[in-house]
């Protein structure tokens, strides 16, 4: 039997295709999604000639009154990112891929990376060489972390099973004080709210995958004292303190300041670190 023909990339195929998923309210209807906008523009600009960047278009909404609930918006981002990878992989069999995301986009990029990490995703895990997540609402304490340490997990709870076979290729960054990606384990009320935001509006099939996350949260609450502990966290005094904490968080602009947030002793900012890392993979 004749040996299979060696694969080769057609002309114009990149060595690395970076799929970028912007954060909430950062997408647009421009006909040129490759131009980039928002936080990730600083991550994807100036990459080596062998890299190509495609920005994912999706609703990027956060609240039901904007037309799509968070879960539906994030699901669209995952689907659209998967479609971009599938199309490029079919045309360019030797091209590697990178996923980067910020905020809601990090949620989507991380979910797709975890899917690919099972080994039955849109491409083989070996072709996903970098996954960079800024302020991932589903950050896990077990994820490979860049920068000063922060407590807890993301507000939506960690991904059960992590990133599987692509775990060595994942890097996550969360600024100290960013409540989206750093919720203390014992703050059960915030964790409940985050889980509901992550799962609200999901289809029955999608809700099935959240069963393990719900069980983990339930078990943590029970281990932490159960209903009496929850009741202590929703007293009028506790609610006022939580409201003040959230207001201070939004006023701080920490979540919007990753272009100035330093992650190492050389003064490298979060967005610059991710850009340099992507460049090293191209």
What are the tens digits of pLDDT across the range 203-254?
666 666 677 778 877 777 788 777 877 777 778 887 777 777 777 877 788 9
CB count in 10 Å sphere of residue 209: 13
Contact 246, 180 (CB under 8 A): no
Q: Is residue 193 part of a domain?
A: no
Report how far residue 157's alpha carbon sits from residue 162's, in angstroms, rounded to the nearest whole number. Answer: 11
The helix/strand/coil state of 171 is strand
The yes-or-no verdict on residue 271 having pLDDT over 50 is yes
What rounded mean pLDDT belongs to the chain?
A: 85
Q: Is residue 166 part of a domain?
A: yes
Report how far residue 222's alpha carbon sits from residue 187's, in angstroms, rounded to the nearest whole number. Answer: 13
Q: Is residue 189 part of a domain?
A: no
Which pLDDT score is estimated for 6? 44
The yes-or-no verdict on residue 31 having pLDDT over 50 is no
Contact 190, 154 (CB under 8 A): no
Q: Is residue 217 part of a domain?
A: no
Alpha helices in the chain (DSSP H): 41-44, 70-91, 104-115, 188-199, 204-209, 211-223, 227-233, 236-252, 270-281
CB count in 10 Å sphere of residue 236: 7
Which pLDDT score is estimated for 267? 97
The yes-or-no verdict on residue 1 having pLDDT over 70 is no
Q: How many residues does the chain have?
A: 282
- Mean pLDDT of the region 113-123: 95
The yes-or-no verdict on residue 255 having pLDDT over 80 is yes
Q: Is residue 239 part of a domain?
A: no
Written as six digits, the tokens of 172 are 């996550």
* H-helix or E-strand spanning residue 172: strand 170-173
- Mean pLDDT of the region 108-114: 97
Contact 103, 110 (CB under 8 A): no
Domain that holds residue 97: 16-183+253-281
Residue 242: exposure state from Cβ atoms within 10 A (0-12, 13-18, ≥19): middle
CATH no. for residue 271?
Answer: 3.40.50.1820
Which pLDDT score is estimated for 154? 92
Report how far residue 127's alpha carbon sits from residue 47's, in angstroms, rounded to the nearest whole number. Answer: 19
Instruction: Quote the distance between the C-alpha of residue 11 and its chain's center.
Output: 32
Radius of gyration of the chain, Cα coordinates, nearest whole angstrom: 19
**Residue 194 or residue 67, greater confidence:** 194
pLDDT tens-digit series, residues 33-91? 444 568 999 999 899 999 999 999 998 887 655 556 788 888 899 999 999 999 999 99
Q: Per the structure, how many domains does the chain have?
A: 1
- Which range, 24-33, 35-44, 201-210, 266-275, has the best average confidence (pLDDT)? 266-275
Which pLDDT score is estimated for 107? 94
Report how far residue 141's alpha carbon sits from residue 25's, in angstroms, rounded to the nearest whole number. Answer: 27
Q: Is residue 47 part of a domain?
A: yes
3-state helix, strand, coil in the chain (%, to 5): 45, 10, 45
**Residue 227 or residue 93, greater confidence:** 93
Which pLDDT score is estimated for 37? 64
Written as six digits, the tokens of 4 are 């299979």
Written as six digits, the tokens of 85 are 């990878």
CB count in 10 Å sphere of residue 264: 13
Q: Is residue 34 part of a domain?
A: yes
Written as six digits, the tokens of 109 are 């990029």
The yes-or-no verdict on residue 190 having pLDDT over 50 is yes
Q: Is residue 191 part of a domain?
A: no
């Amino acid at each position: 039997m004749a040996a299979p023909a060696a694969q080769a990339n057609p002309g114009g195929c990149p060595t690395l295709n970076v799929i970028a998923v912007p954060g909430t309210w950062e997408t647009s209807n421009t006909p040129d999604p490759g131009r980039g906008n928002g936080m990730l523009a600083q991550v994807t600009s100036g990459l080596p000639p062998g890299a190509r960047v495609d920005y994912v278009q999706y609703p990027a909404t956060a609240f039901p009154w904007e037309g799509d609930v968070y879960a539906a918006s994030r699901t669209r981002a995952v689907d659209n990112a998967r479609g971009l990878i599938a199309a490029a992989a079919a045309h360019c069999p030797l091209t590697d891929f990178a996923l980067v995301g910020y905020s809601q986009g990090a949620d989507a990029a991380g979910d797709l990376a975890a899917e690919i990490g099972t080994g039955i995703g849109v491409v083989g895990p070996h072709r996903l060489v970098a996954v960079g997540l800024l302020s991932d609402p589903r950050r896990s304490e077990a994820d490979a972390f860049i920068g000063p340490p922060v407590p807890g997990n993301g507000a939506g709870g960690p991904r059960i099973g992590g990133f599987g076979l692509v775990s060595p290729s994942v890097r996550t960054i969360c600024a100290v004080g960013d409540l989206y990606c750093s919720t203390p384990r014992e703050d059960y009320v915030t964790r409940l709210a985050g889980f509901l935001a992550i799962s609200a509006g999901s289809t029955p099939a999608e809700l099935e995958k959240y069963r393990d996350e719900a069980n983990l949260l339930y078990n943590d609450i029970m281990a932490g004292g159960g209903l009496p502990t929850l009741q202590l966290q929703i007293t009028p005094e506790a609610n006022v303190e939580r409201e003040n904490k959230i207001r201070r968080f939004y006023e701080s602009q920490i979540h919007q300041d990753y272009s100035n947030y330093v992650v190492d002793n050389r003064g490298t900012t979060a967005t610059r670190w991710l850009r340099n890392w992507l460049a090293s993979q191209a």
